[in-house]
Amino acid sequence: KAGVTQTPRYLIKTRGQQVTLSCSPISGHRSVSWYQQTPGQGLQFLFEYFSETQRNKGNFPGRFSGRQFSNSRSEMNVSTLELGDSALYLCASSLGSGTDNSPLHFGNGTRLTVT
Amino acid sequence: KNQVEQSPQSLIILEGKNCTLQCNYTVSPFSNLRWYKQDTGRGPVSLTIMTFSENTKSNGRYTATLDADTKQSSLHITASQLSDSASYICVVSLHTGTASKLTFGTGTRLQVTL
């Protein structure tokens, strides 16, 4: 069974640009969540989608947005990039969402560098 | 503020030795507690998930314990191997109605040496 796939693996952008990251979940998983990981802050939750609906949102500015398609694939967009947006962006999928105890299956992330 | 604190921040041990990593949390109401292993350059991999009613769970040489009264968890690694070198992240799930929010610790970086 294929794991969670994130593309691209690496990305370099300049300040002010916008970027779109893609995530393909494990087949059959309906929940996709996104995380930002930096050395200083660790992993921080961005948002979660379940069956194309945003279920949860972390404390990030509106420049960070996402969506989920009917095939459960998800995209994350960051507009007006800032230097502080440089981070590893991780996507995770799971069978369920909300109150269950489904383990998260992470992709290997997209390393975004903003110059 | 809901927080998850891990200790130590980093640890170096010899191959074959045991070690214990700590996680203290203030998240409430608590749904479950998870431990993840993250190799450098890779995404985290789930080791264990415990609900508040469970106080121990094992996954091979990894054993997690949970004391919901004191809000403490530990991850014990037995007979360490070089491949155990990684960051170990404690994650606590906050239950809010129909959704849950995850709060992450900043991790313990473990290095296993010869």
Residue A105 has pLDDT above 70, yes or no: yes
| Closest A-chain CA to B52 | A101
Residues of chain B with pLDDT under 50: none
At CB < 8 Å, which residues of chain B contact A? 31-32, 34, 36, 41-46, 49, 51, 89, 91, 95, 98-107
Mean pLDDT in residue range A39-65 = 91
Mean pLDDT in residue range A8-36 = 96
Residue A97 has pLDDT above 80, yes or no: no
| Closest B-chain CA to A103 | B46
Render pLDDT for B1-24 as a digit per residue (tens, 0 to 9). Answer: 668 999 999 999 999 999 999 999
| pLDDT at residue A41, as a whole number | 82
Alpha-carbon distance B64 to B5, whole Å? 16
| pLDDT at residue A96, as a whole number | 76
Alpha-carbon distance B94 to B82, whole Å? 34
Alpha-carbon distance B46 to B88, whole Å? 10
Substitution target from B5, B32, B46, B89 for chain A, most A beta carbons within 10 A: B46
Q: What's chain A's length in residues?
A: 115
Residue A42 has pLDDT above 70, yes or no: yes
Q: Do A55 and B99 touch (CB under 8 A)?
A: yes
